[in-house]
A and B are shown apart, each in its own frame.
Chain A
């Protein structure tokens, strides 16, 4: 019998509600309908009622996980409009914040992914070690989230020479932890069996859906705004961009783990760069925003964030268009989740890292409106049982 499994729209632990209607035939997902808009706050409109400096903080509130992504893209857009350059020191600091955010965001995703497939150890570990990334951010900015570090023309706080050794040590301590995760994911035969070939997004589909970030890079599309259109300090440091070809959940996990090593590399180079620059010069003064248009991008943990800004010469933008990476990535579930079993739906939908959110109230309803009970917890249980079964097979 054909059934619909609604996933969503609200999860009390997370932001960004989405609503997935899975059409299933027995165990197999045959179609999926995605509804968004439950958390539409009209930020684009709000932005046109604030002056340029206020908008930096307004857009920081768009996302609770990657809170610096939007201010980053926004200041890039305004600076593109103005055609100004910012001090080198500010560039380094911007990149450091951007990369630290990537670290904690990827760790958060890894934990959730681990939980969904029944690897609660991975979950506990990665959320524990994510705390130490938040500690570094707190040390630098005073905040564990919503760092308020960005402003048009530069940054608001310096990273002084007294802080640098401490930040360096805390970052380098993380490498051993990433090694542990790499081992836990890449060397574990059960995870291989559980995630390989699951939720595949082919390269052709990835191009059609114009996906970005790790979702694209796991499907063999070699894009990264940091390298393609360098901004902040990304043109002054060396790093690799891991690209894999299978497009399944396993590759999406591996891409993110490998990216974390690159982030540490970038942070270390930026910190050494900071040591050579005179302290205090962290801002280019901006007094006037001339009429015109600007486009700013930032490679957020989930992919390219895109901001378009238009000015008429007043102190407020007349139009501010914002496009988050999940806007492109979530839509691709339409192909990635179809053909999968229900027990793989949770991890497939989570694999694009949609600031995972949507999934508290889950019930199975058949088309004759007879309700049977299968809640989100049951779905996770199904997913975890599958892993358990695989584990037992390997044990034999």
Chain B
């Protein structure tokens, strides 16, 4: 039997996988450490020809989560890479060096949730105006 794309991903990620969750035949959620995001995204995009759909930043009670959604269009499967970031000084590597398509969404998550993307070439406001007050992040949960 041919190896499925999910098996390939699991093999390539190896012990980087913190938690693997199969929602249904087409949707998979893989939790990884924030430090591994660049490498894992590179594996998906460059080695396995996934397409980057978008990323969702979520403010959870204890931490921030970012889900990077990748689509494998040959079989219609979606893998969402989940990373959890500390609430104090949240930051993560930018993926813009792998694909330009990450540029806008990282700017959006930065301005909406205040997550810093290390190595982003142009981290400025995308949707909010340039004179938006500092340290005011609209999608952060208010106490």
Proximity string of chain B (68-107) to chain A, C-beta cutoff 8 Å, 1 when within and 0 when not: 0101011111101000000000000000000111011100
List 16 A-B pairs, Cβ < 8 Å. A37-B125, A45-B138, A80-B24, A207-B51, A208-B100, A210-B51, A210-B101, A228-B75, A293-B23, A295-B78, A304-B71, A323-B53, A323-B54, A327-B54, A327-B104, A331-B103
CA distance A302 to B69 in the complex (A): 19
CA distance A226 to B68 in the complex (A): 22
**Interface extent on B, as a size class?**
35 or more
Residues of A near B71 (CB, < 8 A) are 228-229, 304
Contact pick for A306, options B53, B75, B128, CB 8 Å: B53
A63 on the interface (CB 8 Å rule)?
Answer: no
Residues of B near A310 (CB, < 8 A) are 58
Footprint of B on A, CB under 8 Å? 36-37, 40, 42, 44-45, 80, 83, 207-210, 222-223, 225, 228-230, 292-295, 297, 304, 306, 308, 310, 318-319, 321, 323, 327-328, 331, 334
A224 to B, closest residue via Cβ: B73
Residues of B near A321 (CB, < 8 A) are 54, 56-57
Residues of A near B59 (CB, < 8 A) are 319
B129 on the interface (CB 8 Å rule)?
Answer: yes
B126 on the interface (CB 8 Å rule)?
Answer: yes
Footprint of A on B, CB under 8 Å? 23-24, 26-27, 29, 51-54, 56-59, 67, 69, 71, 73-78, 80, 99-101, 103-105, 125-129, 138-139
CA distance A55 to B78 in the complex (A): 24
Most buried by A among B29, B52, B76, B103: B76
What distance in Å separates the Cβ of B77 from its nearest Cβ neighbour in chain A? 8
B99 to A, closest residue via Cβ: A208
CA distance A321 to B108 in the complex (A): 12
Residues of A near B23 (CB, < 8 A) are 80, 292-294
CA distance A40 to B125 in the complex (A): 12
B109 to A, closest residue via Cβ: A321
Contact of B74 with A228 in the complex, beta carbons under 8 Å: yes
Contact pick for A331, options B53, B77, B100, CB 8 Å: B100
A205 to B, closest residue via Cβ: B100
Residues of A near B80 (CB, < 8 A) are 295, 308
* Residues A40 and B127 in contact in the complex (CB < 8 Å), given A210-B53, A295-B80, A323-B53: yes
Residues of A near B52 (CB, < 8 A) are 210
* Residues A230 and B76 in contact in the complex (CB < 8 Å), given A37-B128, A208-B99, A293-B29: yes
What distance in Å separates the Cβ of B126 from its nearest Cβ neighbour in chain A? 6
Contact pick for B54, options A37, A223, A293, A306, CB 8 Å: A306
What distance in Å separates the Cβ of A331 from its nearest Cβ neighbour in chain B? 6
Contact of A208 with B53 in the complex, beta carbons under 8 Å: no
CA distance A207 to B99 in the complex (A): 8
CA distance A334 to B76 in the complex (A): 28
Contact pick for B76, options A36, A80, A225, CB 8 Å: A225
A40 to B, closest residue via Cβ: B127
Residues of A near B57 (CB, < 8 A) are 321
B24 to A, closest residue via Cβ: A83
Contact of B69 with A209 in the complex, beta carbons under 8 Å: no
Residues of B near A40 (CB, < 8 A) are 127-128
Contact pick for A229, options B67, B76, B104, B138, CB 8 Å: B76
What distance in Å separates the Cβ of B68 from its nearest Cβ neighbour in chain A? 11
CA distance A240 to B44 in the complex (A): 28
* Residues A319 and B56 in contact in the complex (CB < 8 Å), given A208-B99, A208-B100: yes
CA distance A228 to B71 in the complex (A): 10
Residues of A near B76 (CB, < 8 A) are 225, 228-230
CA distance A166 to B137 in the complex (A): 52
CA distance A45 to B139 in the complex (A): 7
Contact of B53 with A304 in the complex, beta carbons under 8 Å: yes
What distance in Å separates the Cβ of A49 from its nearest Cβ neighbour in chain B? 13
Residues of A near B27 (CB, < 8 A) are 80, 295
Contact of A223 with B51 in the complex, beta carbons under 8 Å: yes
B55 to A, closest residue via Cβ: A321
CA distance A225 to B69 in the complex (A): 15
CA distance A50 to B129 in the complex (A): 26
CA distance A293 to B23 in the complex (A): 9
CA distance A306 to B67 in the complex (A): 13
Given contacts A42-B138, A80-B23, A209-B100, 6 further A-B contacts (CB under 8 A): A208-B100, A208-B101, A228-B75, A229-B26, A295-B69, A297-B78
Contact of B26 with A36 in the complex, beta carbons under 8 Å: no
What distance in Å separates the Cβ of B64 from its nearest Cβ neighbour in chain A? 11
CA distance A297 to B76 in the complex (A): 10
